[in-house]
Amino acid sequence: MSLRIVVCVKYVPDATGDRRFADDNTTDRDSVDGLLSELDEYGVEQALKIAEASGDAEVTVLTVGPDDAKDALRKALSMGADKAVHVNDDDIHGTDVIGTSAILAKAIEKTGFDLVVCGMASTDGTMGVIPALLSERLGVPQVTLLSEVGVEGGTVKGRRDGDAATELLEASLPAVVSVTDQSGEARYPSFKGIMAAKKKPVESLDLDDLGIEADEVGLAGAWTAVDSATARPARTAGTIVKDEGEGGKQLAEFLASQKFI
């Protein structure tokens, strides 16, 4: 039976755009162009590599997000994924990471999986906890933050490069893995891939399909709440210290005045 790989991807506001919060303190997804999170491209790439090496695998990309999130799925499909699942429901607006992991887990179970691949974090929320939450909810092992990953038989193996040590890790399938931005550059889609992606199946699911009640998710169901958000002040011109014999002293005074020392 073929290896079933599910890649979780997120549609995020373009980090080079002018990102801001909406009136309800959720991420404003309307005023900035969105795209497939760059960190998730690494997940797609590794899933495709594993699938190519196995010769008998099916890669499904999964996202939870509004209508526009289909663009992230289409990008992943044009890179070479086989099919996509889009969980989209108005009641999902404002869902926190706990709720998102619940939705993803149900969708993954419904799709069927041997291996779940995630990026190391999203580029908007940057929490990086989804893999661990999924592991708990799905009841399977997690092998996270890998810079190298592969599947041999019924085992996923990988390398995690830490500050103090390099760990070689493995887990029996089914399992959840996450890969870092050191795992290898993601491929670009080709024009042919883009054309082919249009013919690939995209399944749309809502909360009903997954057996999730509306009040379990969304702003109301969130365990965390953002009370207020303040934009970072614009950058101001720095202080220039000219060394006329007193430079060191002036630097020290500056650092002390800013409470760095």
Partner 1 sequence: MSQPIRPLKSMDRQLPSEEAADLLALTRELVERELAPRAAEEEAEGRFPREAMRLLGRSGLLGLPYPEEYGGGEQPYEVYLQVLEELAAGRLTVGMGVSVHTLACHALATFGSERQKQQWLPELLGGELLGAYCLSEPQSGSDAAALTTRAVREGGDGDDAHYSVTGTKAWITHGGVADFYSTMVRTGGPGPTGISVLLVPADTPGVAADAPERKMGLKGSPTAQVRFEAARVPAERLIGAEGQGFSIALSALDSGRLGIAACAVGVARAALDYAVEYARTRTQFGRPIAEFQGLSFMLADMATAVEAGRALYLSAARRRDAGLAFGKEAAMAKLFCTDAAMRVTTDAVQVLGGYGYTADHPVERYMREAKVLQILEGTNQIQRVVIGRKLTGG
Rule CB under 8 A: say whether 223 interacts with partner 1. Answer: no
Are β-strands 57-64 and 3-8 bridged in parallel, bridged antiparallel, or unpaired? parallel
- Which of 155, 166, 172, 198 binds partner 1 (CB under 8 A)? It is 198
At 72, the amino acid letter reads A
Size of the site for partner 1 (CB under 8 A): 12
Rule CB under 8 A: say whether 37 interacts with partner 1. Answer: no
CA–CA gap between residue 29 and residue 12 (Å, rounded)? 8
CA–CA gap between residue 88 and residue 8 (Å, rounded)? 14
Rule CB under 8 A: say whether 191 interacts with partner 1. Answer: yes
Stretch that binds partner 1, among 45-53, 141-149, 189-197, 223-231 (CB under 8 A): 189-197
Rule CB under 8 A: say whether 194 interacts with partner 1. Answer: yes
Give Dmax over CA atoms of the chain in angstroms: 76
Rule CB under 8 A: say whether 15 interacts with partner 1. Answer: no
Residue 216 has a CB neighbour count (10 Å cut-off) of 15
- Which of 126, 155, 190, 204 binds partner 1 (CB under 8 A)? It is 190
Q: Which is nearer to partner 1, 132 or 194 (CB)?
A: 194
CA–CA gap between residue 13 and residue 31 (Å, rounded)? 9
- Kindly report each contact of residues 29-34 with a partner whose C-beta sits within 8 Å and lies 24 or more positions away, as own/partner: 29/66, 29/68, 34/68, 34/69, 34/71, 34/72
Q: Which 69-98 positions form the footprint of partner 1 (CB under 8 A)? A: 74, 78
Q: Which residues of this protein are in contact with partner 1, per CB under 8 A?
A: 16, 33, 74, 78, 188-192, 194-195, 198
